[in-house]
Copies of this chain bind each other. A is one copy, B any other.
Amino acid sequence: MSLLVIGSVAFDDIETPFGRAEKIVGGAGTYIAWAASYFVKNISIVSIVGEDFPQSELDALESRGVDTSGIKIVEGGKSFFWAGKYHLNLNARDTLVTELNVLADFDPVLSPKERESEFVMLGNLTPAIQMSVINQMDKHPKVLALDTMNYWMDSAMDELLDVLSHIDLLIINDEEARQLSGQYSLLKASELILAMGPKYLVIKKGEHGALLFGDDQVFFAPALPLTEVQDPTGAGDTFAGGLMGFLASRDMMNFEVLKQAIICGSAMASFCVEKFGAEALRNLNIDHLQERLDKFTELVNFEAPVL
């Protein structure tokens, strides 16, 4: 039940219609690790930061049971930085600044312990880095999960297809699924993408929920209607983190467990968007989390209509 997370740890400047935050800690790896830490304890994160990254942030992750010894700190280097501004309805955003900084030289080398990890979540990175991690594993993990984005479909499709042929679970959004498959219908898209390698496919639809495909079945998980959405940054990574954390806690993956894992991911994402950055993930009460999981059950529960 060990979970290995590979992903960026970074600084973000975020502006939404509801406020702005400067130089807050973000990055896919950060969100994934925080979210997963509510479900499983044996987590390692492999990433890279600059000398500017606060030790207190690493300590906070350690206090959640996340082994941060795999986060390389580059002396004299600057951490990855992203600045973005969201549109009025939060469904679109403009990237204002992307400074790769030390992430440009990220070349993860796994420790012997990390190479034995049973669950692996490869956050959105270049397919070459993702492949390098896969190649370093001692054996194929129980679950090798991957996130990616349109950018790599445009610039490194062959490498991406190679990576996809090795993984068990792909977690992407609807736009990415449409671009990857060339199909608008998500049902058609799922068939083509599953043929590329992954046994299961999760398509995130933001405020419209998520779909799970695999084993010739389809499952739909709703998003919780929320009164206040402050900042969608990291929601997708938080979703993936909750999902993988739950899978690792159950030490298995099949369609039924994945359904529950997606509900857990959706619940974590619903917390994430209620505050700026990863703030909402830092002091989550486990009763509060269970309460929210129950809300999802209520939200879609109905007695089957019989004619």
Contact = CB atoms under 8 A, between A and B. Distances in A.
Interface of A: 38-39, 88-89, 184-188, 205, 208-209, 211, 217-222, 225-229, 246, 256, 259-261, 263-264, 286, 289-290, 293-294, 297-300, 302-307
User: Among the interface residues A218, A294, A297, A305, which one has the most CB atoms of the partner chain B within 10 A?
Assistant: A305
B185 A220 contact: no
Number of copies: 2
A81 B217 CA distance: 42
Given A208-B209, A218-B299, A225 B186 contact: yes
**9 tightest Cβ-Cβ pairs between the two chains A and B:** A208-B208, A260-B305, A259-B302, A220-B222, A297-B304, A300-B300, A187-B225, A220-B299, A187-B227
Contact of A229 (B185, B225, B297, B305): B185
Given A220-B299, A300-B219, A185 B227 contact: yes
B300 A264 contact: no
A219 B221 CA distance: 13
Contacts of A290: 306-307
A120 B155 CA distance: 57
Contact of A307 (B289, B300, B303): B289
A154 to B, nearest CB: 20
